[in-house]
Amino acid sequence: MASTVTYSCLNCGAGLTFNADKQKFCCEYCGSEFEEQELKDSLAAEKAREKEEEERAQKEQEEREKAFSEEFSSQMNEYQCPSCGAEVIADDKTVAHFCAYCHNPVVMLGRLSGAMRPQRVVPFAFGKEEAEKKFTAFAKKKWFAPWDFCKMEKLEKTTGIYYPFWVTDADTDSILDTRARRVRRWRTGNYEHTETSNYRIYRRGNIHFEDIVTSAYSEQDKELMEGILPYPSEDLKEFDYPFLQGFFAKKRDIERKDVTQEVKNRMFAYSRTLLRGTISGYTSVDSGTVKMKVNSSIWEYALMPVYILTYKDRKGKAWTFGMNGDTGKIYGKMPIAWTKLAILLAGIVAPLTVLLSFILSRLM
């Protein structure tokens, strides 16, 4: 069986979860709360006391990391809960899970080690209850949503999941070569004159791009994931395993080489917009051609917090929404209550009909 790890309460030994509202690791059994540094200090002390056992475990861990760092096809695997010994079943893309028996969070270290270990993470900024409140408030503002759509009990499931993203910084040398024209018109007596002046415009600039975020998980709807962007750059932290406690997490299945062109296309489009914005004072400007050279780039693998909320309508159809676990931004396709739409149309058509009848009666 593969190795797992869980973080336990320093007072009673129960499993800890990361409370996004308090930004602390909490024990639901004895009520203890811990800062991240407290857990780190405790772990360091324990390692010092058990140095011999740690060396043996480290050797085994290195062997597991080597095996897990290889790409393998999606399948179900069994893991043992370190708290109660029960089997935890998860697919090969899941790196943080919960034990179905004791409900303790379980982190599968081997799946986030070596080349698969993230460099950065944005922690969840609020908990599940707050996420559901934000969603119902969002739903209440949608005029044509079903009548019961904004009710909390209609939310079938709310799940906090860390999804993988690539974060890219780059320095480029970009050039815009285009043409513009300035048209001047004036009158002299009975004659109207038009003068058109044509110009060739050349713009060049060193453009720095910061934190271009691209989804690194193919199974999740890409539109849904990118619809809840952006994540504030200042909230990116150095990755550490305790942040995963209490949430699900997925490992990446899209490599850097597979999204390099997509990122370049974004930088290309941004370069065109930025350089085009420096041109003014002309009647019209052509789109022109853009050339871009990437001088340097930094790629980091990061986990971002996402709440997946599922609503099931009266016909049993499931509607899925994504919520940014840091900013609260929501994205998803909204169901339409046709009854509401019909009432609105009736409210518009009826007065118009009365007004038209009145006008016709006065004319006849």
pLDDT band at 357 (very low <50, low <70, confident <90, very high): low
Distance, CA of 109 to CA of 79 (rounded, Å): 11
pLDDT at residue 284 greater than cutoff 70: yes
pLDDT band at 51 (very low <50, low <70, confident <90, very high): confident
Distance, CA of 209 to CA of 297 (rounded, Å): 9
Residues 149/182, Cβ–Cβ less than 8 Å: no
- Least confident interval from 13-17, 234-238, 325-329, 352-356: 352-356
Give 318-336 pLDDT, tens digit per residue: 788 999 999 999 998 877 6
pLDDT at site 68: 44
Torsion of CA 330, 334, 339, 343, to 10 degrees: 60
Greatest CA separation for the chain = 104
Segment 236-257 shows an average pLDDT of: 87
- Least confident interval from 60-64, 208-212, 255-259, 286-290: 60-64
How would you classify the pairing of strands 155-188 and 284-285?
antiparallel
Residues 231/237, Cβ–Cβ less than 8 Å: no
Top-confidence range, 38-42, 131-135, 142-146: 131-135
Per DSSP, the residues of 203-216 read EEEEEEEEEEEEE-
Beta strands, E only, the chain? 17-19, 24-26, 33-34, 76-80, 87-91, 94-98, 105-107, 120-121, 155-188, 191-215, 237-238, 248-250, 284-285, 289-312, 318-324, 330-331
pLDDT at residue 74 greater than cutoff 50: no
pLDDT at site 47: 77
pLDDT at residue 361 greater than cutoff 80: no
Distance, CA of 352 to CA of 343 (rounded, Å): 14
Residues 86/101, Cβ–Cβ less than 8 Å: yes
Distance, CA of 212 to CA of 166 (rounded, Å): 8
Domain ranges within the chain, ordered by starting residue:
17-117, 128-333, 338-364
pLDDT at site 69: 47
Give 248-274 pLDDT, tens digit per residue: 888 888 999 999 999 999 999 999 999
CB atoms within 10 A of CB 146: 21
The torsion region of residue 111 among left (phi > 0), alpha (psi -120 to 50) and beta comes to alpha
Segment 346-364 shows an average pLDDT of: 54
Distance, CA of 6 to CA of 86 (rounded, Å): 14
What is residue 15's DSSP assignment? B
Contacts of 136 (CB under 8 A, 6+ apart): 150, 151, 152, 155
What is residue 157's DSSP assignment? E
Task: Return the half-sphere exposure (C-beta side, CA atoms, 13 A cut-off) of residue 24.
Answer: 11
Give 161-210 pLDDT, tens digit per residue: 899 999 999 999 999 999 999 999 999 888 999 999 999 999 999 999 99
- Mean pLDDT across the chain: 79
pLDDT band at 311 (very low <50, low <70, confident <90, very high): confident
Segment 61-90 shows an average pLDDT of: 51
Give 118-131 pLDDT, tens digit per residue: 999 999 999 999 99
pTM score over 0.75: no
Q: Which neighbouring-strand residues pair with 11?
A: none
pLDDT at site 153: 64
